[in-house]
């Protein structure tokens, strides 16, 4: 028996309790991978061998392997076996988005997810903080309302209505520490209502899939085509919710077509399921007016999620959810439980920044700057010798560059790295099989 | 069958899946109570009746009821039955600490947990924010390191060593959004290591017990006497961790005796368990030098948790954990997962506030003010006609007033309310049976 197996056995002994085996095996493997006890690159026994070893059904093992592959912990190569994922791992490395705080290793870091941090309006933000703190009563500095401060929910209700067409009164807004934190609250609320699975798009942030899986819900994977997520009934059937990026699919860049929006909201209305709209870059549309939020079509069935991470800075840890009334109590209970909401001073400052027009001004400036950088990127790539295709550029802070036929994705990324240029690949975001492609963020200036 | 039972049946049908029944029943009841589907005051069927109804063992039901009573969801009155807890509920109301942001309902609110918010140094805090933001590179505003910013961990390492005797290098500090959030991270880490129960003190914040139970760990209850938590081997036996308030037991006010500290750290060293030291008010000691942190006795076995909630304001949502090396990876993974950490601007500001001496100055001023208010309270109570005893006043921001024998705790609280004075009772914090007593916070001025 190879060394790795012995290691695996050790930890499964601890965790398998003889009941609900599939779940326990899955949990044990996930925990071991997360904590590094199963290091990246470890080859797992075949499902047949492990099943025999543990005296359980082969399907139980195969299901656990399949789920963990969907979450990105394991990589299966057909006919060759199953490995603990080498890179990017959620366990051993910070998520791609979190890489920047350590010293940048590349001259040009074009991995997506981070806006132009040099554009953060430090002076205006501090001025807003000063005005905000001058005007509030002491009790605002107490343990905060788990929904967030009333001042900020009021300001967001107005802003979201005019900027994104979102239909929400302040009482149904829950302020959170960025969208991923908001998603964790939603997962807890959904599990409390008896949901067992969440449909996700075939490509998206692995952090989001991990939050769903860590929260005890299964992932069901929706295909994505040029009209956005495909409302596949077989996938949606068992799901209590679907996580979507309607305005600008991440990372594929397509917009969810009106017909699809209708079908999906009808599905939610008919089944009592919830659509989760991740509007991570909805303010940044270049080709025409912004695509309005899907939430406005069905405010009782769509949770709208937004963030200040793109317009201001991820470091502020400020996001928001517009929550249907029927889900509100559970989401607020989840927010109260773990106590991880944003601080009062930042909330007051953002409220003042929105109310004084500073936020709109910042979005306008950023939109112009990003559009210019997108045009530069398209021009650069267009001048390359390989005739590559650039897609998904009608909006947002990233583009998708299809790899030409003579190259694998890994070869293309390696070629970029040799030129001191860090980019991400579609495989970094795929819930299953991925076409080859480079995901290039253009928010940060190249010059 | 009474109406309430029908309601209960409905939701148990959804959640009971035939396996691991005890856990599922407990989960189903907790979820129903939290979401208000089982409203406060609902009387539950007897364990015998419910067991017969569901066709399961009576002990399974009794265990679930016992666990939920320990968490505060249910109240059992011997011989009379079991009810969904009326007040304070974790589900239907904000925790006691979170009550202030809504309009205060009482002229004098002496419930414990909140410092004097009028003492928050708004001007100095804004000045520190300005200095902090002027000096940092842009990448500090990116997605933060899940451990917190290096600047703050560096400042905390020095502060905790000189103010509390904590032995921790910056790399083992994890910044969190207050202690409750830090506890949630620890619970996730402990569960990942296979822990199944956490020992808690007989009295403490129900929010903490709820975080442990919500995280899937069972509660085991340690008695507390005049030397602090009693290291009862029968209770500690099955526990992978113990949550303690060594410097100033909350709410009983006693200090954990040196002999007990030794026994507990030896237990942790021998069994691989973890002690969690909630040092919520360790800086505020009046009778002699501060009692040093227990963490210094056994840095490899104690997680030290502190907060800026008492010295500055709870609304800042800033706390910190000093984590033993063997637990660090799991805690950081938990912090990365849900994305709920504090924002970069607040972290930088606190780092600058500590480095510039502002934090020490603030603690010194607050300590003097709280000591004066404590003396006023003792004088007032001492002048009362009833000969009541005031305890737990050597430290902290709250005192314990024993109710005299002619009164129940509820009567004493009601009498105070008639004088427009809100106080808490020991029953609000008890994991099981409680002696009668009033818990009175004196941080906020009465004048």
Q: Which residue has better confidence, A336 or A246?
A: A246
> H or E segment at B222?
strand B218-222
Choose the closest CB to B344 out of A35, A181, A316.
Answer: A316
Q: What is the SS3 assignment for B392? A: coil
Q: Tell me how far apart the alpha carbons of residues B415 and A118 are, in angstroms, rounded to a whole number.
A: 59
Choose the closest CB to B31 out of A192, A339, A342.
Answer: A192
How much is the average pLDDT of A74-103? 52
- Confidence band of A115 (pLDDT split at 50, 70, 90): very high
Best of B345, B441, B445 to substitute, by most chain A Cβ atoms within 10 angstroms, is: B345
Residue A366: CB atoms within 10 Å: 20
Choose the closest CB to B141 out of A91, A315, A339.
Answer: A315
Nearest CA in chain B to A213: B337
Would you put residue B348 in left (φ > 0), alpha (ψ -120 to 50) or beta?
alpha
**Per the CB < 8 Å rule, is A344 touching B139?**
no
Which residues of chain A make contact with B315, given a CB cutoff of 8 A? 140-144, 343-345
Which residues of chain A make contact with B194, given a CB cutoff of 8 A? 14-15
Backbone phi, psi, residue B407, to 5°: -130, 145
HEC readout, chain A: CCHHHHHHHHHHHHHCCCCCHHHHHHHHHHHHHHCCCCCCCCEECCHHHHHHHHCCCHHHHHHHHHHHHHHCCEEEECCCEEEECCCCCCCCCCCHHHCCCCCCCCCEECCCCCCCHHHCCHHHHHHHHHHHHHHCCHHHHCCCCCCCCHHHHHHHHHHHHHHHCCCCCHHHEEEECCHHHHHHHHHHHHHHCCCCEEEEECECCHHHHHHHHHCCCEEEEECEECCEECCCHHHHCCCCEEEECCCCCCCCCCCCCHHHHHHHHHHHHHHCCEEEEECCCCCCECCCCCCCCHHHHCCCCEEEEEECCCCCCHHHCCEEEECCHHHHHHHHHHHHHHCCCCCHHHHHHHHHHHHCCHHHHHHHHHHHHHHHHHHHHHHHHHCCCCCCCEECCCECCEEEEECCCCCCHHHHHHHHHHCCEECEEHHHCECCCCCCEEEEECCCCCC
Architecture of domain B122-357: 3-Layer(aba) Sandwich (3.40)
- Token output for A6: 């012995």
**Per the CB < 8 Å rule, is A317 touching B342?**
yes
State the nearest Cα–Cα gap between A419 and chain B, in angstroms: 22
Choose the closest CB to A34 out of B126, B333, B344.
Answer: B333
Q: Residue B8: its pLDDT value, please?
A: 47
Q: Which residues pair with B302 in a beta bridge?
A: B275
Looking at chain A, which residues constitute the CATH 3.40.640.10 domain(s)? 122-357
- Token output for B244: 């303690």
State the nearest Cα–Cα gap between A425 and chain B, in angstroms: 20
Q: Which residues contact B258 (CB under 8 A, 6 or more apart)?
A: none
How much is the average pLDDT of A94-101? 34
Which residues of chain B make contact with A318, given a CB cutoff of 8 A? 343
Q: What is the SS3 assignment for B365? A: helix
**Per the CB < 8 Å rule, is B339 touching A210?**
no
**Per the CB < 8 Å rule, is B114 touching A143?**
yes
Which residues of chain B make contact with A31, given a CB cutoff of 8 A? 192
State the nearest Cα–Cα gap between B307 and chain A, in angstroms: 13
Nearest CA in chain A to B135: A122
pLDDT digits (tens, 9 = 90+) for B390-414: 888 888 899 898 877 678 888 888 8
- Confidence band of A414 (pLDDT split at 50, 70, 90): confident
B331 near B182, Cβ under 8 Å?
no
**Per the CB < 8 Å rule, is B15 touching A194?**
yes
**Per the CB < 8 Å rule, is B100 touching A142?**
yes
- Confidence band of B236 (pLDDT split at 50, 70, 90): very high
State the nearest Cα–Cα gap between B333 and chain A, in angstroms: 7
Most confident by average pLDDT, A17-21, A47-51, A151-155, B95-99: A151-155
Residue B141: CB atoms within 10 Å: 26
Q: What is the SS3 assignment for B424? A: strand
A130 near A326, Cβ under 8 Å?
no
pLDDT digits (tens, 9 = 90+) for B42-51: 888 888 888 8
Return the half-sphere exposure (C-beta side, CA atoms, 13 A cut-off) of residue B264.
32
Choose the closest CB to B339 out of A138, A177, A339.
Answer: A177
Residue B411: CB atoms within 10 Å: 12
Q: Residue A235: its pLDDT value, please?
A: 95
Kindly list the distances between the CA atom of residue A45 and the CA atoms of A37, A48, B238, in Å, as whole numbers in the listed order: 16, 8, 33
ipTM computed for the complex: 0.78
Chains A, B: CB contacts within 8 A come to 237
Q: Which residues pair with A82 in a beta bridge?
A: A44, A76
Residue B112 has pLDDT above 60, yes or no: yes
**Per the CB < 8 Å rule, is A339 touching B117?**
no
Which residues of chain B make contact with A181, given a CB cutoff of 8 A? 338-340
Q: Residue A386: its pLDDT value, please?
A: 59
Q: Tell me how far apart the alpha carbons of residues A305 and A323 are, in angstroms, rounded to a whole number.
A: 9
Which residues of chain A make contact with B104, given a CB cutoff of 8 A? 139
Which residues of chain B make contact with A319, given a CB cutoff of 8 A? none
How much is the average pLDDT of B178-192? 94
Q: What is the SS3 assignment for B174? A: strand
Closest CA to A62 of A80, A75, A50: A50
Which residues of chain B make contact with A12, given a CB cutoff of 8 A? none
At CA B25, angle to CA B21 and CA B30, rounded to 5? 150
Backbone phi, psi, residue B417, to 5°: -60, -35
State the nearest Cα–Cα gap between B31 and chain A, in angstroms: 6
Q: Tell me how far apart the alpha carbons of residues B320 and B174 are, in angstroms, rounded to a whole number.
A: 6
CATH classification code of A361-441:
3.90.1150
Closest CA to B6 of B35, B34, B36, B42: B42
Choose the closest CB to B133 out of A35, A97, A122.
Answer: A122
Choose the closest CB to B343 out of A138, A194, A343.
Answer: A343
- Confidence band of B340 (pLDDT split at 50, 70, 90): low
**Per the CB < 8 Å rule, is B329 touching A36?**
yes
Least confident of A217-226, B215-224, B375-384, B396-405: B375-384
**Per the CB < 8 Å rule, is A343 touching B36?**
no
Which residues of chain B make contact with A126, given a CB cutoff of 8 A? 126, 129-130, 133
Residue B14 has pLDDT above 60, yes or no: no
**Per the CB < 8 Å rule, is A184 touching B339?**
yes
State the nearest Cα–Cα gap between B151 and chain A, in angstroms: 12
Q: Tell me how far apart the alpha carbons of residues B327 and B337 are, in angstroms, rounded to a whole number.
A: 16
Best of A33, A143, A337 to substitute, by most chain B Cβ atoms within 10 angstroms, is: A143
Choose the closest CB to A338 out of B14, B130, B184.
Answer: B184
Which residues of chain B make contact with A194, given a CB cutoff of 8 A? 14-15
The rounded percent of chain B whose pLDDT value lies above 90 is: 53
**Per the CB < 8 Å rule, is B344 touching A125?**
no
**Per the CB < 8 Å rule, is A104 touching B146?**
no
Q: Residue B88: its pLDDT value, please?
A: 36
Best of A340, A352, A443 to substitute, by most chain B Cβ atoms within 10 angstroms, is: A340
Q: Residue B178: its pLDDT value, please?
A: 92
CATH fold for domain B3-84? Arc Repressor Mutant, subunit A (1.10.10)
Q: What is the mean pLDDT of chain A?
A: 84
Looking at chain A, which residues constitute the CATH 1.10.10.10 domain(s)? 3-84
Nearest CA in chain A to B328: A35
Cα torsion at B253, B256, B257, B260 (round to 10°)?
A: 150
From the number of C-beta atoms within 10 Å of its C-beta (0-12, 13-18, 19+), residue B270 rates as exposed
State the nearest Cα–Cα gap between A41 and chain B, in angstroms: 19
**Per the CB < 8 Å rule, is A210 touching B337?**
yes
Query: DSSP states of B257-269 as a string?
Result: -HHHHHHHHHHHH
Residue B269 has pLDDT above 50, yes or no: yes
pLDDT digits (tens, 9 = 90+) for A65-84: 877 776 667 877 666 778 88
Nearest CA in chain B to A175: B340
Looking at chain A, which residues constitute the CATH 3.90.1150 domain(s)? 361-441
Report CA torsion sign: B13, B17, B18, B21: negative
**Per the CB < 8 Å rule, is B126 touching A133?**
yes
Nearest CA in chain A to B213: A337
Q: What is the mean pLDDT of chain B?
A: 84
């Amino acid at each position: 028996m190879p060394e790795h197996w012995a290691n695996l056995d050790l930890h499964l002994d601890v965790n398998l309790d003889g009941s609900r085996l599939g779940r326990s095996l899955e949990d044990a493997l996930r925990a071991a991978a997360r904590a590094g006890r199963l290091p990246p690159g470890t080859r797992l026994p075949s499902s047949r061998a492990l099943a025999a070893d543990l005296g359980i059904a082969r399907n139980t093992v195969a299901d656990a392997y399949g789920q963990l592959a969907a979450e990105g912990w394991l990589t299966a190569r057909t006919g060759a076996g199953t490995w603990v994922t080498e890179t990017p791992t959620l366990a051993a490395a910070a998520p791609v988005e979190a890489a920047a705080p350590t010293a940048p290793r590349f001259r040009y870091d074009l991995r997506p997810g981070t806006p132009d941090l040099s554009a953060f309006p430090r002076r205006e933000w501090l001025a807003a903080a000063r005005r905000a703190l001058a005007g509030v009563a002491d009790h605002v500095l107490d343990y905060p309302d788990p929904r967030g401060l009333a001042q900020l929910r009021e300001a967001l209700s107005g802003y979201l209505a005019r900027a994104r067409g979102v239909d929400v009164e302040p009482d149904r807004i829950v302020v959170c520490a960025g969208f991923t934190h908001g998603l964790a609250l939603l997962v807890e609320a959904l599990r409390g209502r008896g949901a067992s699975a969440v449909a996700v798009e075939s490509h998206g942030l692995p952090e989001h899939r991990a939050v769903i899986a860590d929260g005890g819900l299964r992932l069901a994977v929706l295909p994505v085509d040029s009209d956005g997520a495909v409302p596949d009934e077989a996938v949606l059937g068992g799901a209590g919710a679907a996580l979507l990026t309607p305005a600008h699919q991440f990372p594929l860049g397509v917009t969810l077509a009106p017909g699809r929006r209708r079908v999906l909201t009808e599905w939610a209305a008919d089944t009592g399921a919830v659509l989760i709209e991740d509007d991570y870059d909805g303010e940044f549309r270049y080709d025409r007016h912004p695509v309005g939020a899907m939430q406005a079509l069905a405010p009782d069935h769509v949770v709208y999620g937004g963030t200040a991470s793109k317009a201001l800075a991820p470091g502020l840890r400020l996001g928001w959810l517009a929550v249907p009334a029927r889900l509100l109590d559970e989401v607020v209970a989840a927010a109260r439980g773990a106590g991880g909401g944003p601080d009062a001073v930042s909330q007051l400052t953002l409220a003042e920044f929105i109310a004084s027009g500073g936020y709109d001004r910042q979005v306008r400036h950023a939109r112009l700057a990003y559009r210019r950088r997108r045009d530069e990127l398209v021009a650069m790539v267009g001048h390359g010798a390989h005739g590559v295709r650039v897609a998904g550029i009608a909006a947002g802070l990233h583009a998708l560059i299809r790899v030409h036929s003579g190259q694998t994705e890994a070869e293309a990324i390696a070629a970029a790295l040799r030129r001191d240029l860090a980019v991400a690949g579609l495989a970094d975001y795929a819930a299953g099989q991925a076409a080859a492609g480079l995901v290039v963020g253009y928010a940060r200036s190249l010059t």
